Structure 1
Amino acid sequence: MKLSTISAFVAFGIFASGAQAQDEDTFTMDGELGFIFTSGNTETTSANGALNAKQELEQWSNEYTLKALYKKDKVDGVETTSADKKFASAQANYKLENKDHRLFGFASYEDDRFSSFDYQATIAAGWNQKLWSDDTSSFEYSIGPGYSFADRFVTDSEGNVSTVSENGVVVRGAFAYKYIISDSAKFTQSFSTEVGADNTKSRAESAISAKIAGGLSMKVAVKFDHNSDVTGTRENLDTETSVNLVYTFF
């Protein structure tokens, strides 16, 4: 299961949702983009971006996410890539008689070149509930069983690197909280964890967004990506602090 497959899946879902949304007028999508360039003794190029889409229909509430991070450094003429991460996910929530009670299906894929894994992917299903949603704030959560797929890098005694499959049952839990600070600013907090026998993978993001003009906003975010079981000297926790421009397409 490679990134191109998942990306095609997410892109197809967005296209299909967009086609439906033309009649429903319930499809929204925004893009994030941030860059850092330095020159002199050290030359650095850093870029991160995201594409987020949401859809509200009579029986479905769907979300799609595509994220990427890339960083390249050049010191004394030597060029190295120090970050190369891609992530894609999609979640479909089927609304029951009480529209705040749903059944969800979820799929995700991550390819992080500098992690302990060649790739990590998850599918899950279960219960989703919107506890509240008003003019000030909203909160919803998901919980259910799933299955994870991963290829871990391992190094033998002779220094040869190979991959070992680590597939198994997980329990996925997630929540999303939004608080409207003012007409032009909001705070969002998201968290997810996938608990398995081999590894527990968790992600979190805290962000504040403020409108600049029209559909353009600025977003300051802190992201955390944690794996409980890593290889060698790699860190369990990756953090990312970003300041991005966000444009709401529709």
Structure 2
Amino acid sequence: MNLKLATAALCLTPFLIQAEEQKETSPMKASAEFGALFKTGDTKSGDLKAGLDFSFEKNQWRSSLNFDVLVRKTETEVVKEDGTITEEFETSDQKWTIVGQTNYTIEPNGKNYVYGNASYADNRFSSFDNQSSISSGWGRRWFETEKATLDADVGPGYKRDVLKEPDENGETTHDAFIIQAQALYKRKINEHVEFKQLVVAKYAPKNGANSTYKAESSITTKLIETLQLKFSFIVDHNTDVDENKENTNTQTAMTLVYSF
């Protein structure tokens, strides 16, 4: 009986090793992040931030898909029709974005690649009902070590801004040719901490057209094998907004990230 078990185990060993290797080298990675903040006292409010990240890397292909949502509710005084005043929670900020990009390395184990990028953003309290863009071009992995990588790409594209209110010409949609440039720097500070810096510029050469710029810095600390704590700081800038809106908005967040 023991001989039969030993023989079966020996026969199954190569398949178990292969399955383990496939598990370790899976081309697909995914993570979900979630953060919430509730404030009480003189001012009551609640913030919710969530996101999903997917990445795929195999042979000469590298793809990523990122989804983020932010919702904030603040307690405000509401005057009823009968004149009574009550305090209710109302949405004071709401934004969600989705960004996808695919890179194809021109030569196996090479540094140069071509890319395609698409993005969509819906911001309830901005000057725009939504903003979308597409772009394609050339990029390069400028350096790569065991601890750090730097990718940067540039290319032509097309951007559409849908306004909440008609402009002085009665138009609600602004289309523009853009030049998109972006860079992503990653560095492992140690086996538990990783730093990322993303910079994206969408420059519209057309006179009076809105250009957008974004910078995102983050530090992720591993708590356990599949759970990390993430600190992030984001700066968003639009060159052309309504008079009562700010050109630059910032977001600071602390979230838990689960990798699977």
TM-score category by the smaller chain?
A: 0.7 to 0.9
Q: What CA distance in whole angstroms lies between the structure 1 residues aligned with 2:137 and 2:33? A: 30
What is the DSSP-based 3-state SS (H/G/I as helix, E as strand, rest coil) of the residue aligned with 2:126?
coil
Q: Which residue of 1 aligns with 2:29?
A: 28
1:177 to 173, 181, 185: 185
| 1:126 paired to 2:137 | yes
Q: What CA distance in whole angstroms lies between the structure 1 residues aligned with 2:182 and 2:33? A: 22
TM-score by length of 1: 0.85
| 1:138 paired to 2:149 | yes
Q: Which residue of 1 aligns with 2:121?
A: 110
Q: Which residue of 1 aligns with 2:257?
A: 246
Q: What CA distance in whole angstroms lies between the structure 1 residues aligned with 2:92 and 2:185? A: 32
What is the DSSP-based 3-state SS (H/G/I as helix, E as strand, rest coil) of the residue aligned with 2:242?
coil
Q: What is the Cα deviation at residue 121 of structure 1?
A: 0.2
| 1:80 paired to 2:81 | no
| 1:150 paired to 2:158 | no
Q: What CA distance in whole angstroms lies between the structure 1 residues aligned with 2:24 and 2:89? A: 50
Per-residue CA deviations over 1:12-48 (Å, capped at 9, x if unaligned) read: xxxxxxxxx9897111111111001123443211101
Q: What CA distance in whole angstroms lies between the structure 2 residues aligned with 1:216 and 1:29? A: 12
Greater strand fraction, Structure 1 or Structure 2: 1
Q: Sort the Cα spacing of 1:128 and 1:45 in 2 relative to 1 into closer, same or farther, 3 A.
A: same
Q: What CA distance in whole angstroms lies between the structure 1 residues aligned with 2:213 and 2:76? A: 33
What is the DSSP-based 3-state SS (H/G/I as helix, E as strand, rest coil) of the residue aligned with 1:154?
coil
Q: What CA distance in whole angstroms lies between the structure 1 residues aligned with 2:66 and 2:89? A: 31
Q: What CA distance in whole angstroms lies between the structure 2 residues aligned with 1:94 and 1:38? A: 46
Q: Sort the Cα spacing of 1:208 and 1:24 in 2 relative to 1 into closer, same or farther, 3 A.
A: closer
Q: What is the Cα deviation at residue 102 of structure 1?
A: 0.8
Given that 1:225 and 1:238 are in contact with CA atoms closer than 8 Å, whether structure 2 keeps it comes out as: yes
2:216 to 205, 228, 245: 205
Structure 1 portions without partners, runs of 5+: 1-20
Q: Sort the Cα spacing of 1:233 and 1:188 in 2 relative to 1 into closer, same or farther, 3 A.
A: same
Equivalences, count: 225
What is the DSSP-based 3-state SS (H/G/I as helix, E as strand, rest coil) of the residue aligned with 1:182?
coil
Given that 2:237 and 2:247 are in contact with CA atoms closer than 8 Å, whether structure 1 keeps it comes out as: yes
Q: Which residue of 2 aligns with 1:166?
A: 174
Per-residue CA deviations over 1:158-194 (Å, capped at 9, x if unaligned) read: xxxx861100100000000011111100111001010
**Letter matched to residue 186 of structure 2:** K
| 1:188 paired to 2:189 | no
What is the DSSP-based 3-state SS (H/G/I as helix, E as strand, rest coil) of the residue aligned with 2:223?
strand
Q: What CA distance in whole angstroms lies between the structure 1 residues aligned with 2:226 and 2:23? A: 19
Per-residue CA deviations over 1:117-164 (Å, capped at 9, x if unaligned) read: 01100000000211112112110011000000111233689xxxx861
Q: What CA distance in whole angstroms lies between the structure 2 residues aligned with 1:247 and 1:134? A: 26
Given that 2:233 and 2:250 are in contact with CA atoms closer than 8 Å, whether structure 1 keeps it comes out as: yes
Q: Which residue of 2 aligns with 1:49?
A: 50
Greater alpha carbon shift after TM alignment, 70-79 vs 143-152 = 70-79
Following TM superposition, where does structure 1 have runs of at least 4 consecutive aligned residues deviating by more than 4 angstroms?
21-24
Per-residue CA deviations over 1:183-223 (Å, capped at 9, x if unaligned) read: 10011100101001201111111111111112101011110
Q: Kindly report which structure 2 residues correspond to 1:12-27, keeping only aligned pairs within 5 A, or say none.
A: 25-27=26-28
Q: Which residue of 2 aligns with 1:216?
A: 227
Q: What CA distance in whole angstroms lies between the structure 1 residues aligned with 2:148 and 2:179? A: 27
Q: What CA distance in whole angstroms lies between the structure 1 residues aligned with 2:196 and 2:99? A: 18
